[in-house]
Structure formats: structure tokens, C-alpha cells
């Protein structure tokens, strides 16, 4: 007889099928303990509790600075005074969650407390999920700088012997100057914070000026993942930092030769390009409306025709450059030059964005003991451990945050 270990449960010393309030509180804390370290992007936002009994909308507040009081006071006369200007930003919260089903057979053979171990895994998942929700929201800001002064994402290059658009100390200084010019307040101890991907951190820390100037910070006084401080910015490393990747041009074809991220020009006739690779019917449909890049120029695909290698065709809306010749590589647009991955490093000041917090209802552990399903589990074979969370984020002051987009040496 085979045992389905995709359905797994654990034994318990508790009487009956209910989780006591004390155990529920413990499991909630256990979940939060493993989720919290993953919430890198949540650390630096204006935190608000999840509203209870007040609908799905949460309200963040921004206080505008008062103008200078330049009029001299008159002796013995009380001035009129001023009023605070409060701007509210509303955001709708969404729910996220997942669960694992445990079998009674695992109960008989498990050595560890399976519920606790399962919660560790689910807590990690919850943290990464909620962090991604926040990351995607705050990376949609329009206060952007590219490489060392480039004009747009699609011209950023990397992987060459020279002229690469990697993150440098000069780019850090430019981002800091922008925050200061916008009167963004530091987050802690006079410093802004930057969330940086390890790949980008590798390039930045190899910059000779970083090695000459970088200061260590006491991890007890800062955040998990802190790698150092330079020019008033503390850098916090996270593998969850945003990467802008170009979507592959083909997903459905059974590709055994060539790079699925790109296509190759076989022949050109007007606005029609015959490609050297196979295009499936599903991919041909999906390519309609996509933007591609050839020799540094962007084109919009008006239509695509499926076919075998040398027969599949792409028709673009624009007139093709004379540089588009047989052998030219067709890259997906949306990232750097020639489809290069683009990394976001966020430089953050106070109150740049708001987030909902995971305590007080934001993240909940849900445990269903075996037998709790009634006739849905007639032999008491299954229990479940899961999590459910409510989360949102919103940019409050876009001028208090700078997104620096670069390539990296990897």
C-alpha cells in the first residue's frame, strides 16, 4: 500500500480536535516569527494596522510641511496661526493565503512536531508573498534614475569589458542628492535606506570609492541584511529586490536549439520578418501587441504567423531600420538593451510609502484538526495547517523615494 505524503498530519497531546487559545496564540507567533524576516520592503514604510469592521479600504496620511513664518511678530499681538494640511491616500486591501494537508500516517511516524515545522515553511512562504506584494507596489514609482545618467531602461547595457551600467558610488551620490533636494527626511540616525539585490551589491562593493569610504554599522542598531553605509545611505541586501525581466518571446514551442528568450532574423520584406526559429500557434497569438527590440530599436508586433524554422513570420507596425538584416537578434523589450535583466535599488526616505502590518490580524494561522471536516473526512485521515493575510501598500510621497535601475555583472 502506498502512502500519500502530500497529505500529511501530526499527532498531538491535546484532548479533542480543537486548538486551545494558548496554542493558537503560540502558532500565530510562530508564523509571524518566520514571516517577519522576509518582510524587507515592509520595514521602511509608514505602518498602519489592518482595519477591523471598517471595510476593505485603509487610509494612510501625509502631513504637508508648513510654509516659512516670515512675518515678524508684533509685540503683544497673538498671530493668527496656521493649520495642518493632511493629505489622505486610500488603498484597498487584498487577502492572500495557502495551506498544507497532513495525513494521519505521518502522525504515526513523525519524530518532529510536524505542525510547528510546517508553520516554519508556511511562515517563510507568507513572508515572501507579502513582501512581493509591497515590492511590486512601491517599484511602480516614477522617480527613477538609470545607470550613470542614461535616459531610459532599454539602453542600459552590461557584460562588456567597459561601459557597463552597474551601480556605482557616483549613482548613489546622485540618488542621495535627489532625496535631499526633495527634503526627504532620513529614516534613522541621519541616514536613508537602500534595498539592494546581492548581485548589484557585488558590483557596488567592488567600486574603489566604496572600499575607501564605506562604514560598518552595528547590526543591532539597524536591520537584517545590512551590508554597510556610504554617503548617508544604509544598504540592506535582499534577494527579493525587484528585477525587471523581459518576458520570453516563446513559451509553448518545443525548443531544443537556440535561446528561448530571443529570435533570429532570417529574411526581411517591408515590415515582415521571417525568423529562423519555430513559432507555435499559441506563441504566435501571444506575440500580437508585444514590443521587441532589434539593434537597439523598439518595434511593436502587429501580428505573427506560426510556422517551422524559416517559415514563421513577424509583422511589425513600424518601418524597420536598415540595420535589421539576416542574422540580427530579436529581443523581447521591457528590460535593458538586448533583453538584459535590470535591477532596482530603492533609496528610501521617511513616509515615502505606507504598508499594512502583519500583527493584530494582518497574518493569521489556521489549523484544522483531523476529524473537523465531518463527513468530508469520514475516517479522520486529514488535517490542515495554513495561513491567511491581508496586505496592501501605497506610495505616499513619490519624491521621497528614488528607484535606481542598473544592470549587474552576473
Question: Taking the domains of the chain in order of start, what are their residue ranges?
Answer: 163-244+341-350+399-406, 263-333
Q: What are the beta bridge partners of residue 76? A: none
Q: What is the pLDDT of residue 4?
A: 33
pTM of the predicted protein model: 0.80
What does each C-alpha distance from 348 to 91, 139, 231, 328 come to in angstroms?
20, 11, 14, 41
Structural contact between residues 186 and 350, judged by C-beta atoms closer than 8 angstroms: yes
Architecture of the domain defined by 163-244+341-350+399-406: 2-Layer Sandwich (3.30)
Question: Does 16 score more than 60 pLDDT?
Answer: no
CA–CA separation, 297 and 324 (whole Å): 10
User: 160-197 pLDDT, tens per residue?
Assistant: 777 899 999 999 999 999 999 999 999 988 999 999 99
Residues of the chain with pLDDT > 70, as a percent, come to 83
User: 320-342 pLDDT, tens per residue?
Assistant: 999 999 999 999 998 998 889 99
Mean pLDDT calculated for residue range 34-44: 77
**Model confidence at 159, in pLDDT bands (50, 70, 90)?**
confident
**Model confidence at 75, in pLDDT bands (50, 70, 90)?**
confident
CA–CA separation, 168 and 162 (whole Å): 14
**Model confidence at 258, in pLDDT bands (50, 70, 90)?**
very low
State the cell numbers at 240.
Answer: 527579493
Question: Does 314 score more than 90 pLDDT?
Answer: yes
Mean pLDDT calculated for residue range 386-403: 91
What mean pLDDT is reported for the chain? Answer: 83
Residue 277, SS3 per DSSP: coil
Identify the weakest region by mean pLDDT among 58-62, 120-124, 143-147, 201-205: 58-62
What is the helix, strand, coil percentage profile of the chain, to 5?
25, 30, 45
Give Cα 287 to chain centroid, integer Å.
25
Amino acid at each position: 500500500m502506498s502512502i500519500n505524503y502530500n497529505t500529511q498530519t501530526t499527532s498531538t497531546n491535546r484532548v479533542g480536535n480543537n486548538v486551545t487559545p494558548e496554542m493558537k496564540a503560540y502558532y500565530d507567533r510562530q508564523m509571524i516569527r518566520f514571516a517577519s524576516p522576509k518582510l524587507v520592503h515592509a520595514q521602511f514604510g509608514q505602518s498602519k494596522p489592518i482595519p477591523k469592521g471598517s471595510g476593505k479600504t485603509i487610509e494612510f496620511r501625509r502631513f504637508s510641511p508648513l510654509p516659512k513664518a516670515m512675518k515678524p511678530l508684533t509685540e503683544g499681538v497673538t498671530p493668527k496661526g496656521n493649520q495642518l494640511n493632511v493629505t489622505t491616500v486610500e488603498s484597498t486591501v487584498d487577502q492572500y493565503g495557502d495551506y498544507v494537508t497532513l495525513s494521519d500516517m505521518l502522525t504515526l511516524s513523525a519524530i518532529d512536531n510536524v505542525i510547528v515545522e510546517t508553520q516554519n515553511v508556511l511562515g517563510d512562504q507568507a513572508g515572501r508573498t507579502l513582501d512581493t506584494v509591497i515590492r511590486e507596489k512601491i517599484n511602480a514609482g516614477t522617480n527613477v534614475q538609470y545607470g550613470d545618467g542614461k535616459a531610459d531602461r532599454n539602453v542600459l547595457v552590461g557584460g562588456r569589458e567597459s561601459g557597463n551600467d552597474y551601480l556605482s558610488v557616483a549613482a548613489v551620490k546622485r540618488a542621495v542628492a535627489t532625496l535631499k533636494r526633495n527634503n526627504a527626511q532620513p529614516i534613522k540616525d541621519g541616514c536613508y535606506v537602500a534595498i539592494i539585490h546581492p548581485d548589484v551589491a557585488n558590483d557596488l562593493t567592488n567600486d574603489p570609492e566604496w572600499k575607501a569610504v564605506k562604514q560598518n554599522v552595528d547590526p543591532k542598531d539597524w536591520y537584517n541584511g545590512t551590508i554597510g553605509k556610504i554617503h548617508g545611505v544604509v544598504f540592506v541586501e535582499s534577494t527579493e529586490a525587484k528585477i525587471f525581466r523581459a518576458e520570453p518571446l516563446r513559451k509553448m514551442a518545443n525548443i531544443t536549439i537556440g535561446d528561448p528568450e530571443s529570435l533570429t532574423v532570417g529574411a526581411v520584406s517591408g515590415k515582415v520578418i521571417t525568423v529562423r526559429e519555430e513559432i507555435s500557434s499559441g506563441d504566435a497569438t501571444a506575440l500580437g501587441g508585444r514590443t521587441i527590440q532589434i539593434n537597439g530599436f523598439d518595434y511593436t508586433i502587429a501580428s505573427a504567423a506560426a510556422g517551422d524554422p524559416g517559415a514563421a513570420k513577424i509583422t511589425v507596425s513600424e518601418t524597420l531600420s536598415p540595420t535589421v538584416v539576416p542574422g540580427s537578434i530579436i529581443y523581447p523589450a521591457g528590460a535593458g538593451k538586448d533583453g538584459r535583466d535590470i535591477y532596482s535599488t530603492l533609496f528610501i526616505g521617511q513616509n515615502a510609502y505606507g504598508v499594512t502590518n502583519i500583527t493584530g490580524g494582518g497574518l493569521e494561522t489556521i489549523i484544522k484538526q483531523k476529524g473537523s471536516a465531518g463527513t468530508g473526512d469520514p475516517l479522520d485521515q486529514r488535517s490542515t495547517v495554513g495561513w491567511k493575510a491581508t496586505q496592501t501598500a501605497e506610495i505616499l510621497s513619490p519624491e521621497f523615494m528614488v528607484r535606481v535601475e542598473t544592470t549587474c555583472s552576473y
